[in-house]
Amino acid sequence: MTPATWPCPLPAGGAAREYALVFDRGRQHRLLIVPALFDESNRLRRFTVEVMRRLDGAGIDCFLADLPGCNESLQPLERQDTTDWTDAATAAACHFKATYALGIRGGCLFTPTGLPVWHYAPVKAASILRQMLRARILAAREAGREETRELLAETAVVSGIELSGYRLGADFFRHFEKMAPASRAATIAQEAVGGSGLWMRAEPGEDSAQADALAAILIAGIAP
Amino acid sequence: MSDDTDQLLRRILTDVLGLKPGQADGFDADTGLFGHLPELDSMAVAGLLTELEDRLDIVIEDDEIDGEMLETFGGLLAFAEAKRTGA
């Protein structure tokens, strides 16, 4: 497992280096992974890397790329739009010469086209936002402030909003809230992996049986 | 219905809090939740409520969420049971 960088297109032209965690031995089968988003990305990162270790062991190269504005990225999150993330995932797939792609949870909204794609426990953007808005309302209430979902959403589409520490721009919010995972992907439901999804854990966790199961599904699809 | 809700709620808490199997069986009506368990912050509670909605097939309005219902296992169970009966 090594850190790598790749050229990610900037909206105004040019490119910035973004980070990726890679297992790259120049092998034939190459899987790009679009990580889960926001809070869920932290909770699922270790699980994701555990799946990558198993893929590596089975002879599959894999690449976990940061979306601009996320994880180690130096780009401001609030300046990202949804098209920037789609472009980023496409550029990462091209740079790493991916032959397959896997989206995890919210990452399924940004998996590149033109490759065989799996979606693990895909989620609609509206569901992600609903939970983040609820967390903000709960935190405000605890601090003695009343906020309503309607008012927050109205503000968000005009001037952007900070949810769970993530500063989302107005354009992003408007475009993101309508997004749903594309149906062309092969969906891997949590039931196929067993146990309960680690994204719902209050603290980041890991589960080797689930990592084994998800890796096995991918390996069977890539290198039967 | 009530036994079912009780079991489902214990399972959801097990999933959200990452409890060992059986650990949630020890929860009683007075077991403290929000404000008692450090890992159950507002983000985790939001996740917990989303899971409740999905698995109990209910809709929870923001203004229905108050400290009392989240404070103890008994409070949350009473809320979930009332929601399911009303649904």
Cα A89 to chain centroid distance, Å, stands at: 10
pLDDT at A135 over 70: yes
CB contact under 8 A, A202 and B41: yes
- CA dist A183 and A30 (Å) reads 22
Whole-number pLDDT of residue A205: 86
DSSP 3-state percent helix, strand, coil across chain A (nearest 5): 45, 20, 35
**Domains (ranges, CATH) in chain B?**
2-86 (1.10.1200.10)
Q: Classify the complex by whether its ipTM is higher than 0.90, answering yes or no.
A: no
Looking at residue B39, its amino acid is E
Residue A119's SS3 state is: strand
In 3D space, the residue among B44, B55, B49, B13 whose CA is nearest the CA of residue B31 turns out to be B13
A189 φ/ψ sector (left φ>0, alpha ψ -120 to 50, else beta): beta
CB A76 within 8 Å of CB A166: no
User: Which residue among A130, A134, A202 sits closest to B16, beta carbon to beta carbon?
Assistant: A202
DSSP H/E element including A18: strand A15-23
**Domains (ranges, CATH) in chain A?**
2-123+182-222 (3.40.50.1820), 126-180 (no CATH)
CB B42 within 8 Å of CB B33: no
Whole-number pLDDT of residue A93: 98
pLDDT tens, chain B, 87 aa long: 556 899 999 999 998 888 888 889 999 999 999 888 888 888 888 989 988 998 898 999 888 888 888 899 999 999 999 999 885
Contacts of B16 in chain A (CB under 8 A): 200-202
Query: Choosing among A42, A44, A196, A207, which should be mutated to test the B contact, i.e. which has the most B CBs within 10 A?
Result: A196
Q: What is the pLDDT of residues A65-103, one digit of tens each?
A: 999 999 999 999 999 999 999 999 999 999 999 999 999
- The two tokens of residue B51 are 């899971």
Sign of CA dihedral A124, A36, A215, A200: negative
- CA dist A133 and A125 (Å) reads 12
- The two tokens of residue A224 are 């039967």
Q: What is the pLDDT of residues A20-73, one digit of tens each?
A: 999 999 999 999 999 999 999 999 999 999 999 999 999 999 999 999 999 999
